[in-house]
Amino acid sequence: MVITKEWFTVEEAAQYLCVSKRTIYKLTKEGRLPAFRISRERHRRFRKEDLDRVPRPGDEAKTLEAFLKLTAKVDPVLAEIWDNERDAAYDRV
| pLDDT tens string 21-42 | 999 999 999 888 999 998 888 8
Q: Is the pLDDT of residue 20 over 80?
A: yes
Ranking 47-51, 57-61, 82-86 by mean pLDDT, the lowest is 57-61
Query: How far is the C-alpha of 38 from the C-alpha of 44, rounded, in Å?
Result: 6
Domain interval for residue 67 = 58-93
CATH of the domain at 53: 1.10.1660.10
CA 10 – CA 17 distance, rounded (Å): 11
Q: What share of the chain is helix, strand, coil (3-state, %, to 5)?
A: 50, 10, 40
* DSSP code string of 12-49: HHHHHHTS-HHHHHHHHHHTSS--EEETTTTEEEEEHH
Q: Same domain, yes or no, for 4 and 35?
A: yes
Statement to judge: residues 70 and 45 lie in one domain? no
22/53 same-domain check: yes
